[in-house]
Amino acid sequence: MNPFEKSNSALPSNNVYNEKTLIESPKSYTPPPSPPALSPLPPPSIQASHPPPSMKPSQTEPCEKPVHGTQRPSPIRLGMRVWQLLAALGAFAFQAGASPYAMRPMPFSENMALVYFVYALFWISFTWSLFEIYVYLTRLRGRGGKVKRIIAFAVDAILAALMGVGVCYEIALYKCPPGQYDGWCDFFNTGLFFGVSLFSTYILTALWDLFGGLTCIRQEIQEP
């Protein structure tokens, strides 16, 4: 036996794992238990028949309720009101100024009541047109609402009817050819032209109010 082998066997072994440890199988590793699986939450039920208040469709306002600053007036309608204002002023000025221009009294003095009736209509028309223009200007600046359809239709229809009666009676009773009575007829017929145009525009505005009101009523009926 080699003496070096004996001396080496007497020395302590530096291997931590001896042959027995290497031969033995390592201990089995048991992993920690996994957490329980979370069950998925059921989806929230949405009831279509009862939507939340935020999902309800917004209710439209009635047509006649004024909405400040959101609705602009129609320029065509505003132009018609301006023409009615000028036509009423022109009709009165030319018919009332015929006698001073011709320097002679009215040749149809037996029917003066009709003349005063038409003069009163001209001034009422002037006042109504001026008020409508004021309403439109305030709407342009977003500080007011429009006149109710029923009121506008009633005033326009009454003025159209009365203006038609007055102008038609003037045409039928006052036979005044151009150039007659030292130019009196020229002034009077010019005023009559403005009166006819005033009557025509009031028919148009009354129809405008009527169809606008019917449209609002139809929209309110069709609302759910």
Angle between helical axes of 184-222 and 75-96 (0-180°, round to 10)? 150
Long-range CB pairs of 173-180, under 8 A, 24+ apart, other chains included: 173/108, 173/111, 173/114, 174/108, 174/111, 176/107
Alpha helix positions (H), 97-183: 98-102, 112-140, 149-173
- pLDDT value of residue 214: 77
Contacts of 146 (CB under 8 A, 6+ apart): 66, 71, 73, 135, 139
Percent of the chain with pLDDT over 70: 64
- pLDDT value of residue 68: 43
Q: Are 130 and 155 in contact (CB under 8 A)?
A: no
Distance CA 88, CA 117 (A): 13
Higher pLDDT, 3 or 181: 181
Distance CA 121, CA 115 (A): 10
Mean pLDDT, the chain, rounded, equals 77
Q: pTM surpassing 0.75?
A: no
Instruction: State the average pLDDT over residues 151-177.
Output: 93
Which one of 26-40, 135-149, 169-183, 209-223 scores highest in mean pLDDT?
169-183
Tens of pLDDT along 117-128? 999 999 999 999
In this structure, what token pair is assigned to residue 85? 């204002």
